[in-house]
Amino acid sequence: MRKIHVIGLNSFKIKDLSIEVQELFQKVKNIAAPKTYIHEIKGWVSMKLIKDKNFYESKSNYNLINWLKSNENDVILISRGDPLWFGIGRILLNKFSKEELIFYPGKTSLQLAFSKIKKSWQDVKAVSIHGRETNELIKLLKSKEKGIAILTDPKNNNLDLIRQNLKELDLEYYYEFWLCEEIGSKNEKIRLISHQENLPKEISDLNIVILLKKEISSSNKNLPLFGIGDSTFKTFDDRPNLLTKREIRIQLLADLELPELGTLLDIGSGSGTIGLEALRLRPKLKLISIDKRFGSQLLVAENAKKLGVSPNKIIESDIKQFINNDLESIFSDFNRVIIGGCDKETKIKIIEEFSKFLEKGDIIVLPIITYEVLQKVSNCLRAFNYETSINLIQTFKGITISEGTRFEPNNPVFILKAKKK
């Protein structure tokens, strides 16, 4: 059976080829290579590695497949890096039997790029937007992966698109932006580009972009007073999106009607986004933050330092431990309560117990995601003499794609506001 030898190159230096591959070039007469490789491959003739060969310059996958099918003898097909990693390998496996194909992978551009920037890459997600929409990339950006390697397409202004998506998703400060061009060649360029810099005017078509999560700075310089971006806050490593999103946070803070003086109790505070932003708006307000997740105390403290505020208490414990256990001495004189991050029964129990201490005009606000829980909790609040109001917040994020702007929905959230009569 004839064989198709698919060889992945990382350079055009003969010394970089294995002895096995060098012998193949001597034996096999038919060689196919991309247009950009043909000149370099033919240059090996002078080194007596290639003589009397038939070269085929592959300009499209369709023509290449037809040429391969028309050859009855063994063929060498030149690829770049690993043919089975976003390469020609997948197409070949669909068109030819596994018995016909033999792969000789080189190092991937991803391997080489990370060796150059001297970063580990075991947690990095790879995505190709070469000839594809950016749907998968946007999913990875929204999930705030620690690292994303992107194979780009020079025909679609991909680099501008990536920069725009980072801006739209408030991730400009979240990631380092590495531009790696012609990795492994004599024209190799590797640049770390800040979000404030323009992209270089001259960029090779052979490039990949690497996005790596930054260490968040502790500086609060240039932060807005209100409506702080989500990427400003440090979050749980295993749940990077576990925070109250900016659009919802803005409405919750408005509904709390924050007084100049008083105490805000933030139950199920997570990374502390709501309570900490409240302190920026009302510096004399007291804040008690409580969350049961391991590491929440340190996380809230780090975010407080970043925002330049000081909560009165940060408690890492389950609120259930305090209910019916000298509650008043621990949480005294509070007049604003935000209840999130707990189940329906716990929400109701909190309302029942805390209502003993709340006075006329004091406010409880709850973000709720299901209608069934909304019904139960709102009925409970009315039973304890609260005036309630409900808003359903549904926001959409405009995301730039190759053909324009697509609006992606964020999860809808009910905001239940209750004021003591």
Q: How many CB atoms lie within 10 A of CB 249?
A: 20
Residues 337, 348 within the same domain = yes
Asked if residue 248 has pLDDT above 70, the reply is yes
pLDDT of the residue at 50: 61
Output the domain CATH number for residue 31.
3.40.1010.10
Q: What is the CA radius of gyration of the chain?
A: 30
pLDDT of the residue at 221: 66
- In sequence order, the 6+-apart residues with CB closer than 8 A to the CB of 356 are none
Domain membership of residue 218 (yes or no) is no
Q: Could you give the CA distance from residue 268 to residue 320 in angstroms, rounded to a whole number?
A: 11
pLDDT tens for 373-387 read 999 999 999 999 999
Residues 240, 191 within the same domain = no
In the predicted model, what is the mean pLDDT of the chain? 88
What is the span of the domain harbouring residue 203? 110-213
pLDDT > 90 in the chain, percent: 51
Domain membership of residue 222 (yes or no) is no
pLDDT of the residue at 4: 94
pLDDT tens for 313-358 read 999 988 888 776 666 666 667 899 999 988 899 999 999 988 888 8
Domain boundary among 61, 92, 107: 107
Domain membership of residue 225 (yes or no) is no
As a whole number, mean pLDDT of residues 128-143 equals 89
Check residues 189 and 215 and name the one with the higher pLDDT: 189
Asked if residue 218 has pLDDT above 60, the reply is no
Q: How many CB atoms lie within 10 A of CB 14?
A: 14
Residues 103, 114 within the same domain = no
As a whole number, mean pLDDT of residues 139-145 equals 90
Asked if residue 46 has pLDDT above 60, the reply is no
As a whole number, mean pLDDT of residues 42-67 equals 77
Residues 269, 408 within the same domain = yes
Domain membership of residue 168 (yes or no) is yes
Domain membership of residue 219 (yes or no) is no
Domain membership of residue 185 (yes or no) is yes
As a whole number, mean pLDDT of residues 296-309 equals 92
Q: What is the DSSP string of 346-383?
A: HHHHHHHHHTTT--TT-EEEEEE--HHHHHHHHHHHHH
